[in-house]
Amino acid sequence: MTTPSPVLSAERDRPTPAVDDVIDHLLDIQPGDALDRIRAQRAQARSHAQQSYLSLFHPAKPVVGHVSRLERQAVALFVALLHRSPDVARFYEQGLHDAAAPALLLQAIDAASQAARHTGPYGHYPEGPLTVENTDGPRYAVAAELRPALGNRLAAAFDHVHLLVFHPRDASPAAVQALLDNGWDTTDIVILSQLVAFLSFQIRVVQGLRALHPHLHSPA
């Protein structure tokens, strides 16, 4: 039997405001500046990135699956903290504040991320030539004292997120079953995987553009 978190109840699942372009927002890109012109050269990719964000964090009704807005924001914050991306983490933390998430939840996410933060990637390949690259690394499970704040459903999600971020080679039917046992159906598991993949993409784009910015020149 799963234990729902009291902080993830329906009355707290309030809509949060969307931004026009989340990557522009994270980098404070203004119309006409150097990074804006760079992104304008890939207009379709820019649009797809924003549409992916909207579909995951502001899905149109009827919403597919049972992953609440708070759960989406909580997973995003956890992923950003695992990736050591403070600016992206602040954005999703603000999303939790906007959704009236209590301090207890935010504290639990921060504590979980500190315990789960490693380097990676770790894992083992199937028997073959790539096994020379096998790397052992720590596995993670949310601490018992954090589970009352998170609930078993979100705690199971965090365990799985750590697997996807740091042990991508070690995904297994048992890992999926752990989610199923804690209230995630197959549609929800797909959404969870999409959240992790999107955050990894978003963080890399933000880091790449930030690294590029000092080498660009604004128009005269």
Confidence check: pLDDT of 100 > 50:
yes
Is residue 6 included in any domain, yes or no? no
Selected residue with higher pLDDT from 17 and 113: 113
Question: d(Cα 170, Cα 180) in Å, to the nearest integer?
Answer: 18
Which CATH number goes with the domain that contains 92? 1.20.1290.10
Is residue 5 included in any domain, yes or no? no
Is residue 158 included in any domain, yes or no? yes
pLDDT, mean over the chain: 87
Is residue 106 included in any domain, yes or no? yes
Selected residue with higher pLDDT from 89 and 1: 89
> Which residues, other chains included, contact 49 with Cβ-Cβ below 8 Å and sequence gap of 6+?
22, 23, 201, 202, 205
Is residue 167 included in any domain, yes or no? yes
Residue 115: helix, strand or coil by DSSP? helix
Q: How far is CA 20 from CA 6, 23, 62, in A?
A: 32, 9, 22
Selected residue with higher pLDDT from 172 and 189: 189
So what's the pLDDT on residue 196? 98
- Return the number of other C-beta atoms located less than 10 Å from residue 33's C-beta: 16
Is residue 84 included in any domain, yes or no? yes
Is residue 9 included in any domain, yes or no? no
Of 131, 135, 69, 134, which Cα lies nearest the Cα of 105? 69
Provide the domain limits for residue 133: 14-215
How many structural domains is the chain composed of? 1
So what's the pLDDT on residue 157? 98
Residue 140, Ramachandran bin (φ over 0: left; ψ between -120 and 50: alpha; else beta): beta
Confidence check: pLDDT of 197 > 70:
yes
Question: d(Cα 62, Cα 132) in Å, to the nearest integer?
Answer: 47
So what's the pLDDT on residue 117? 84
Is residue 103 included in any domain, yes or no? yes
So what's the pLDDT on residue 10? 40
